[in-house]
Structures are given as C-alpha cells and as structure tokens.
C-alpha cells in the first residue's frame, strides 16, 4: 500500500523519511487517534489534519496526515523500515470509506 518515497530534507538533510500511499486515500484522524495503542505511543499533537505520536522507547516521532502520508522523523532508516508495515496497518483501519 505504501512506498518509502524519499529522504526529507526540509529541516536538515536526511532528517526524516516520508511514506506515500500508492493510491488516493483519506484518513479519519479521529478514528486513528482512537485505535492508537497508548501503551506504545505517546500522542504529541492532534488536529483534524494530522496526528503526531512518539515511540519513547525508540526515540522516534511519527506524523500521520489526513492524505495518508506518514512522516518518520529520524535519521535511522532501519527504524523506519521496522515500523512501516505496522503504521500502514494502523492507517488502513482508519481510512474513510
């Protein structure tokens, strides 16, 4: 469902990775917030357009956007690869029909 598109260099070169959905989707951010495992994730920011969470045990910040994009704020591509499928599954559960 997703492809890891590119390194994000807006703030600093290689400061993050963005995963783009292969098709147009709309994510229900409220529903996504409800299904997030609060034992694993700490919600940092929430609005109608995006949800940002931390995984404190891994020093990883992830932002989910209404458009389906997932932003991983980390220099470590291995962390992104390790979590991408789980994040895709969360998004799939919150897609607006």
Which of 80, 74, 90 has the alpha carbon at shortest distance from 25? Answer: 90
Selected from 1.10.10, 3.30.310, 1.10.260, 1.10.3470, the CATH number assigned to the domain covering 2-93 reads 3.30.310
Q: Rounded to whole angstroms, how far apart are CA atoms 84 and 96?
A: 20
- What's the CA angle centered on 49, arms 66 and 89, to 5 degrees? 35
Model confidence at 62: pLDDT above 80? yes
Instruction: Give pLDDT, residue 97.
Output: 78
Model confidence at 68: pLDDT above 70? yes
Q: Rounded to whole angstroms, how far apart are CA atoms 94 and 47?
A: 15
Instruction: Give pLDDT, residue 18.
Output: 87
pLDDT band at 1 (very low <50, low <70, confident <90, very high): low
Q: Domain ranges for the chain, please list them.
A: 2-93
Instruction: Give pLDDT, residue 5.
Output: 54
Model confidence at 17: pLDDT above 90? no
């Amino acid at each position: 469902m997703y492809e890891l598109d590119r390194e994000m260099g807006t703030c600093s070169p290689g400061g993050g990775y963005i995963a783009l959905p292969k098709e147009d989707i709309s994510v229900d951010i409220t529903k996504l917030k409800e299904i997030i495992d609060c034992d694993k994730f700490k919600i940092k920011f929430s609005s109608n357009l995006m949800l940002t969470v931390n995984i404190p045990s891994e020093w990883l910040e992830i932002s989910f956007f209404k458009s389906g994009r997932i932003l991983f704020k980390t220099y470590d591509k291995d962390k992104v690869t390790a979590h991408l499928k789980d994040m895709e599954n969360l998004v799939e559960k919150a897609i607006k029909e």
